[in-house]
Amino acid sequence: MLVPTDNLKAQTATSEFQLLLDSLKQLDAEQYFTPAKEFGESILKKEGLASEPKIKMDILYTLANVYFKSDEFEKGQPHAEEIIDIAYVTEDYTRMVKAYDLIGLAFFEYSEYDSTKFYLFKSASIAEDHDLDLYPRTLVNMAWINGLMDNEEEEIGYYIKSLEVVETKPLLDQKGGIRAKAYGGLGDYYTRNGDYEEASQYFEKKLALGKETENITAQFESYLGLGTLYSKEDFLNVEKGEEAYFHLTRDTLNATPFVHGLGYLGLGRLYVTAEDYPKGLQAFEDAYDIFIQFNSNDYHSRIETEIANIQLKLGNLSSANNWINKALSNATATHLANRERNALRIRYKIDSAQADFRSAFNNYQRYRVIDDSLNSEESKQRIEELEVKYETEQTENQNLLLKNDLAMKEADLKQKAIIQTVFAVVAFLLAVLAYVIYKADRRKKKLNLALKQKNELISKQKEELQFKTDKLQIINSQLKALFDFRKDLTRMIAHDMKNPLNSIIGLSSTINDDKKVDSITKSGYQLLNLVTNMLEVEKMQEVKIDPKKEKVYLDELVKEAREQVELLVAAKSIVFQNLLPKKLSLQGDRHLLVRVLVNLLTNAIKYSENGDVIKIYHQHKDGMLGIVIQDEGAGISSERLPFIFEKFWQGEQRNSGLATSNGLGLTYCKMAIEAHEGKIGVESELGGGTKVTFFLPYNGEEVSPALEV
C-alpha cells in the first residue's frame, strides 16, 4: 500500500524536529547551556515548525528552562509565555500547566513569592478544571509556596486536599511521591506550630512510605524532618536527633555528598540548640567542606552565617567577622534576600559586640528593610500588575482565536467558490453559519469559565490582602517601637554632649594667645550647633511648635546670629553685608528666628571660599516679608536640590574646611519657619552660589532696602 507524498513529507518533518528536540534536551542535560541557547533559537527559526505545535512547545519549554538555569529570566519568560498561548489555541492543557509551573518556579529563584504563587495557582486551577493527572502535584506546589509565605491555613488545606485526591484516585500516586510530599509538608507545618507529637507521626508515615516504595529520597527527607523536630528547644532530644542525622551522614551506599552535607548541617543546629558549641562548630565545618564543592551561594551563605553565629557566641569576634562577610558576599551575589536578611541579623550583633554602634545601627536598619520587603505593600502592587497581565493575556488569546477562525473561513470560501455550484455555495454558507454559532457557543463557555476562575482568584486574593494588612499593622507597631528607641537614644546622646561642649567653649574662651585654642573654640561652637539642632528637631517632631511671638527687629536678630558665627566668618575672612533696614520689624519668636539665621549663615560660610561675600537683604511679596541670605559658594546640583530640607541630608563638604554636619540644620529651619506660618525655599546651581529665602507674615508698611552696609 502506497503512502501519500504529503503524508511522507509531514512524517519526515516531524522526525527531523523530534531529533532536533532530542539534541537540545541532551545539551541541557549535560549543562552545555550556551550552545543549547544558540541551538534552540536556531530551531525556532526553521520553517514548518509552526505545523508541529506539540514539538514546538517542547522546544520552547526546554529553551526557557535553559535560560532560567543561566539566570536569564527576561529571555526565558517570553518563551514560556508563548507555550501558554499555543496551548490555549490547541487546548493542550497539560503543557499549559507545565509552562505555568516553570515560570512560577523561576520567580521563586528570585524570592518573588507572590509571582510564584500567582503562576502556581493558575496551574492548579487549570489542572482541576480539566481533571488532569497533574492535579495532585499542583496542589502540593500550592501548599509549598503558601508555607514559605506563612499562609499556614492555606498550606495545610492544600496538603490535605492533595491526600484526598490521591485516596480517591490511587493511580495518580502509584509511586507514593505525592503522599510523601504531603506527609512531609504536614510534618513541617505541625513542627512550626509546636505540635511536635503530631509532626513526628507524619514524619514516621513518610518514612514508612519511603521504605515501602523503596523511595530513598523520601526516607532521607523523613530523617531530616525528624532531626529538625528533635532539635527544637522545647522538644530537644539529642540522642534521637543524632540517630536521625547519622542516617544521612553515615550512609555510604545511597546517600550522595549533598545528603551528607544536609546531615552535618542538621547536626550543627542540633548541637547549637543543646549549647554544645564546639560540636556544633565541627558539624558546620564538615558541612561547609562538602557544600564548598557545589556552586551554591545559598548553602554557602547559610553555613557561613551559622559558623559566624557560633564564633560570636564563643567570643571569637575576628573569626565571626570574617565568616559573616563571606555570608553577605554570597547572599548579595545571587540576590538571596532571605539569606542576606539572616546574615545581617548576625552582622549587627557582631558590630555591637565590637562597640561599632554606628555600623550596628546601619546594619540593623538594612536587616529590617529586607525583612519588611519580603512581605510588604509591594505584594499588593505585584498582584494588581499580574491581574492586568492576565486580562491582557486572555484578550490576546481571544483575538488569536478570532484571527484563526477568519483565516479558515476565507480559505474554505475560496475553495468552495471554484469547485461547487450555486446550490453548493448556499449549502456552504449554511454550514459556515452553523459553524460560527457552534464556535460562538464554545467561546462563550470558555469566557464564562475564565470569568469564574478570575472571580475565584480575586476572592482568594482579597483574603490574602486582608491577612497581609493585619501583618503590616503588626510590623508598623514594631517599627514605631524601633523609632521610639532611636529617638530616645538620639536625645540622650545629644543632651549628654551639650554640657561638656559648653564647658569646653567656656574654658577655651578665656585663653586668647593661642591659635589652636581659637580653633578648639570654633569647632566647639560648630559641634554645639549640631547638637542643638538634634535636640530642637526631635522636640519639634514630638510636640507642635507654638512660637512665642513678640516684636523683633530683624537687624538685631542678624547681629545676634552674627555674633554666634563670628569665629567662622573670621576663619575664612568672609565679607559680611547686612542690608536690612534698622527699623524693619515683625512679630516672631526671637529664639527660633535667631537659630534659623545661625543655621543659614553657618551653611553659607561653610560652602564659601576665603574672601567671598555673604549678603542679607529683604523683599516684600504677597503680604509677606522675605529675608534673603545669598552666598557665592559652591552651589547645589539640580539632582540634590529637592532633598536639602530632608533630615540627615548633607551637601558636598569635602572642601568646606569645616566640621561635618549631621544634616539637621535646614530641617530645623523649615520646621521653625512653617511654625510661623511662613515658607522657605532655595535657588542654586552648581558653581553659582546659593540664595536661601524665607517668608514670614508681615502686616507693616513696605520698607525700601538699605543702600549700604
For the stretch 112-127, pLDDT in tens is 888 999 999 999 999 8
CATH number for 632: 3.30.565.10
661 occurs within a structural domain: yes
What is the extent of the structural domain holding 443? 380-500
Least confident of 59-68, 257-266, 508-517, 622-631: 508-517
**Do 431 and 493 belong to one domain?**
yes
Residue 442 pLDDT: 83
**Do 574 and 690 belong to one domain?**
yes
**Do 565 and 691 belong to one domain?**
yes
List beta partners, residue 553: 585
Question: Does the pLDDT at position 529 exceed 80?
Answer: no
Residue after which a domain boundary falls, among 444, 477, 500 = 500
**Do 496 and 604 belong to one domain?**
no
Residue 23 vs residues 13, 17, 18, 26: alpha-carbon distances, Å: 15, 10, 9, 5
**Do 669 and 550 belong to one domain?**
yes
Where do we find the cell 542576606? 340
Amino acid letter for position 246: F
Residue 100 pLDDT: 94
- The confidence band for 533, taking pLDDT boundaries of 50, 70 and 90, is low
* pTM to 2 decimal places: 0.45
Q: How far apart are CA 229 and CA 297, in angstroms?
A: 26
Where do we find the cell 520587603? 373
CB 191 within 8 A of CB 224: no
**Do 492 and 546 belong to one domain?**
no
Residue 357 pLDDT: 86
In this prediction, residues 29-50 reach a mean pLDDT of 90
**Do 574 and 687 belong to one domain?**
yes
List beta partners, residue 615: 577, 630
Residue 373 pLDDT: 74
CB 325 within 8 A of CB 292: no
Question: Does the pLDDT at position 516 exceed 60?
Answer: no
84 occurs within a structural domain: no
The mean pLDDT value of the chain amounts to 82
For the stretch 609-647, pLDDT in tens is 999 999 999 999 998 999 999 999 989 988 888 888 887
**Do 429 and 575 belong to one domain?**
no
- The confidence band for 1, taking pLDDT boundaries of 50, 70 and 90, is very low
For the stretch 22-35, pLDDT in tens is 999 999 999 898 99
Q: What is the largest distance, in Å, between two alpha-carbon atoms of the chain?
A: 122
Question: Does the pLDDT at position 415 exceed 80?
Answer: no
506 occurs within a structural domain: no
- The confidence band for 398, taking pLDDT boundaries of 50, 70 and 90, is very low
622 occurs within a structural domain: yes
452 occurs within a structural domain: yes
Higher pLDDT, 542 or 226: 226
Where do we find the cell 543546629? 269
Q: How far apart are CA 368 and CA 341, in angstroms?
A: 8
Q: Which three-class secondary structure state does DSSP give residue 405?
A: helix
631 occurs within a structural domain: yes
576 occurs within a structural domain: yes
- The confidence band for 436, taking pLDDT boundaries of 50, 70 and 90, is confident
**Do 584 and 687 belong to one domain?**
yes
Residue 5 pLDDT: 41
**Do 562 and 422 belong to one domain?**
no
Residue after which a domain boundary falls, among 500, 525, 555 = 500
- Three-class DSSP labels, 467-516: HHHHHHHHHHHHHHHHHHHHHHHHHHHHHHHHHHHHHHHHHHCCCCCCHH
For the stretch 683-703, pLDDT in tens is 999 988 999 999 999 998 888
425 occurs within a structural domain: yes
**Do 550 and 693 belong to one domain?**
yes
**Do 593 and 693 belong to one domain?**
yes
Residue 610 pLDDT: 92
Residue after which a domain boundary falls, among 471, 500, 529 = 500
For the stretch 248-266, pLDDT in tens is 888 777 778 888 888 999 9
Please choose, from the candidates 210, 240, 219, the residue with its C-alpha nearest in 3D space to the C-alpha of residue 228.
Answer: 240
Q: Which three-class secondary structure state does DSSP give residue 294?
A: coil
- The confidence band for 144, taking pLDDT boundaries of 50, 70 and 90, is confident
Counted domains in the chain: 2
Residue 456 pLDDT: 79
DSSP 645-664: TSTT-----TTS-SPPP-S-
